[in-house]
Structure 1
Amino acid sequence: MIRIDDVLRDRGSRYAVSGGPVEGRAGAEAFIKALKREKKFAKATHNSWALLCQSEGPIKNDDGESGAGAVILKMLEREGLRDYVIVVTRWYGGVHLGGDRFAHVVTCVRALLDAKRAGG
């Protein structure tokens, strides 16, 4: 598992990103469950995730952050990364970010992909 706890902050919101190899939706859900065992992730406002699954196809979950799963999924498709879940976590800071939240999801996914390429 790769985890980057403090990727960025904007107007009070904080972002983290996690990822790792999984098998299917059940594997992704187990990954999220393990992540949420840590209190700060369980209390996060959103744990949006996506998986490009070899056997089940594309799977995503916005977890209330509308459109975030689709952004993550598109990046996984571009990368050709299969059977690897990426979770972008946001702790809401009280200010709506509008479209900037999508740019922040992209920044988080890029940080994880860069760490993965570097052997993280």
Structure 2
Amino acid sequence: MSYKTIRNRTEASFTEKKSEFIGYISPAGTEEEAIGFINEIRAMHRKATHNCYAYILRNNNTGRHSDDGEPGGTAGMPIYDVLSKNGITDVVCVVTRYFGGILLGAGGLVHAYSKGASMALANAEIVNMEVADSLKISCDYTMYGIVNSVLPEFESIIRDTEFTDSVCIYADVKTELTESLTAKLIDRCNGKVKIEKLKSGYVEF
């Protein structure tokens, strides 16, 4: 089961009718990480009027949001909707507001908090995570060119190559393609290749 998340923390800010809005977004793998990020932003902006947030996690299929004193449904839910509609998970977003003295109304608040989350997300790098196998492929030098030409056919990501008495290539391949890759390598190399699966897990593609 693949999923989309973000690679890096980012922020973005804008002013709406004299209120300053600052959106922050970060990867988060657990609820503890998400809450830690929210508390970090709150500590940075102790004098802010509101620090509204939302997070979505794969762990226990968790989703939370908070209006932090704004009228119900005008802040946390719009932030959550931005994350959800973009299909992003394992992510937390906080939008900080410094009130500028002019009321925005419910519609204006929804728009502003959505914009804060969207701008922060637009600055982040979205990555696809796929279930993959990490392989160690060993062969002699005469087969190296063949192995190197076959791997890209299976969307493999080469992580490292060691050149000693033989060649060892460390590559990640989507689990669904491991069997067919192995079969093709053995066929193309006339059996003169050794393929070990080191581990399986989510890998960035």
Aligned pair count reads: 115
Cα distance 1:23–1:118, how it changes in 2: closer, same or farther (>3 A)? Answer: closer
SS of 1:95's equivalent in the other structure is coil
Higher share in strand: 2
Given the two structures, how large is their TM-score scaled by the length of structure 1?
0.85
Structure 2: segments with no counterpart, 5+ residues: 1-8, 128-205
Greater CA drift, 21-30 or 80-89: 21-30
Which letter does structure 1 place at the counterpart of 2:57?
A: C
Is this contact kept in 1: 2:28–2:91, CA < 8 A?
yes
Structure 1: segments with no counterpart, 5+ residues: none
Cα distance 1:32–1:8, how it changes in 2: closer, same or farther (>3 A)? Answer: same
Shift of 1:24: 3.1
1:1-120 to 2 correspondence within 5 Å?
1-4=9-12, 7-38=13-44, 41-56=45-60, 57-65=62-70, 66-67=72-73, 68-98=75-105, 99-117=107-125
SS of 2:59's equivalent in the other structure is coil
Cα distance 1:102–1:54, how it changes in 2: closer, same or farther (>3 A)? Answer: same
Shift of 1:115: 0.5
* Sequence identity (%): 29
Q: Say which one has the larger Rg.
A: 2
Greater RCO, CA 8 A, separation 6+: 1
